Amino acid sequence: MFPFRALVLEDHAFQRAVAVNMLHQLGCGEVLEAADGAEALLLLQNTGPVDVALCDLQMNGMDGLEFMRKANSFIGSVILCSELAPDLRRTVMQIIAMLGINPLGDAGKPLQLRRLQVLLENRLPLPKPMLPAPLALELPNEDALFEGFGRSEFVPFLQPKLDLATGQVKGVEVLARWLRPGKGLLPPSVFMPVIERYGLLDVLLSELLASGLALQRKLLQQGHSLEFSYNLHASQLENCYLIQRIQALLKYHGVPAGKIVFELTESAQIEDSATSLESLVRLRMMGCGLSIDDFGIGFSSLRRLCQLPFTEMKLDAEFVHSLTAQPRSSAVIESTLVLAKSLGITLVMEGVETREQHQELVALGCSVGQGYLYARPMGVSAFVDWLGQGIHSRTSHEYSNPFYREPYLIC
């Protein structure tokens, strides 16, 4: 069934024999075996690499971790067979991937034939198809950027934030896209590095604010009172004139400052300067909200929460994505909820993509979420249609219903 070459690294003779026998039952072409890391490494050096290694971790002499580090060029994939605590085994799986070895999974102990078969069937890499070489990406120059701004080619795309219990839209995050003639709709990954390089972040923000505030005013007149969030780079806080520009735009469009939130990416270091802190305070004095984005992965998260006047934090999507596979993620989310509540700030869950994640977040007590399960970023007209159809107004029960189907999705 599995015509590959395997290695069993196990210091317990009986358990090693069981593993070897199971691999033979599953049709493995050749099975090598060793009682410790040093013996296994010498075996591989003499006989060549293996496709899969079933590896114990705790052994006398060279343990499994040291063996994998020294033998990574001889091993294609690894299945862990260990009695270590689950949290340690999960960390070891991350180490295996960092070593450039394919982590097939954790079989635990005692080894079960069906579990081993499932790991081999579901996780062994398929032959990679031959793909054409990707075209070299042509980055825009400064002239192209100014031309794009002059023609209003930088447009807002909106991704909603929803009340997890009711499905009601709480607000939207305003994201930049470049509708460039002859190039199509370009994502931020193409143009943002160049925007930053040429110091045009403030110009882009002004463009997005002008478009977003015009839409927000129209929606307010129609009875939709939504918060609009804009990304703000830490370096922009050094420009005191930016605050005056924001004030002028809010006054011109007649939108309350309390309906505007500025999201500061937590992975970007905020300078400890009087100008930066003054900018943050002025935004709060105006009534604007301040959000710390990607909370939990950047610089000094807790220190920032103590020192800076945030009203919201967005927990990085990584914690939601690992919610079902990583039990500690639930504990992190619960603790962050308690922290947010004690500080009197809103917690937004990013990256919600499945109904299972939605259900678990609701059970944990999360109230606001954002992600592809609810809606992808969309253009202004598509968002207005989406909002008008009321397809967002669904309950937590509807999201948990396995027979409920998405009626409408904008990519």
> What is the mean pLDDT of the segment spanning 347-355?
93
How does pLDDT run across 238-250, given as a tens digit for each residue?
A: 888 899 999 999 9
Backbone φ/ψ region at 300: left (φ over 0), alpha (ψ -120 to 50), beta: left
How does pLDDT run across 127-154, given as a tens digit for each residue?
A: 444 444 444 456 788 899 999 999 999 9
Residue 157 has pLDDT above 60, yes or no: yes
* 30 catalytically annotated: no
Say how far apart CA 139 and CA 195 lie, in whole Å. Answer: 11
Tokens of 376: 């992808």
5-123 and 142-400 agree in CATH topology: no
For the chain, give the mean pLDDT: 85
CATH 3.40.50.2300 fits 5-123, yes or no: yes
Beta bridge partners of 157: 175
> What is the mean pLDDT of the segment spanning 308-319?
90
Q: What is the pLDDT at residue 138?
A: 67
Q: 126 falls in which pLDDT band (50, 70, 90)? A: very low
Q: What is the pLDDT at residue 401?
A: 38
More confident position, 404 or 73: 73
What amino acid occupies position 217?
A: R
Domain edges within the chain: 5-123, 142-400
CATH superfamily, with its number, for domain 142-400: EAL domain (3.20.20.450)
Q: What is the pLDDT at residue 2?
A: 63
How does pLDDT run across 251-278, given as a tens digit for each residue?
A: 999 999 999 999 987 545 666 677 888 8
Point out the catalytic residue in the list 350, 356, 360, 398: 350
Say how far apart CA 11 and CA 81 lie, in whole Å. Answer: 11
- Sign of the C-alpha dihedral computed for residues 142, 147, 152 and 153 taken in this order: negative
- Asked if 313 contacts 347 with a C-beta cutoff of 8 angstroms, the reply is yes
Return phi, psi of residue 34, to 5°. Answer: -150, 150
